[in-house]
Amino acid sequence: TLARELLPRKVRVNAVSPGPIDTGILDRSLPADVVETMKDTYRSTNPMQRLRMSEEVAAAVAYLAFGATFSTGTEFPVDGGASQLYVL
């Protein structure tokens, strides 16, 4: 809705949906055994079998901001396929 409303002003509205990102905040906030269990769970339930890095999310944001000049009203999942693929 916002993308449509802002189109006459030449404003593009897009979204990035990253899921869990390995930023280091868990390591500083929780006990090490809890962190490893959480990270193992995130990895095992992701089709790419790893956590995404903040640089990967930043690259997607930069693409939508500067490269995808003919895109608006879109959601760009940067989640290793987790929202599209089922992991057995």
Burial of 82 (0-12, 13-18, 19+ CB in 10 A): buried
Q: How far apart are CA 88 and CA 79, in angstroms?
A: 17
Predicted TM-score (pTM) of this structure:
0.83
Rg (CA), the chain: 16
pLDDT tens by residue, 6-59: 999 999 999 999 988 999 999 999 999 999 999 999 999 999 999 999 999 999
pLDDT score for 87? 60
The pLDDT tens digits for 58-73 are 999 999 999 999 999 9
Give the pLDDT score at 88.
Answer: 60
Do 48 and 18 form a contact (C-beta atoms < 8 A)? no
pLDDT reported for residue 19? 86
Domain ranges in the chain are 2-77
Choose which CATH entry (3.40.1370.10, 3.40.50.720, 3.40.50.1480, 3.40.50.300) describes domain 2-77.
3.40.50.720
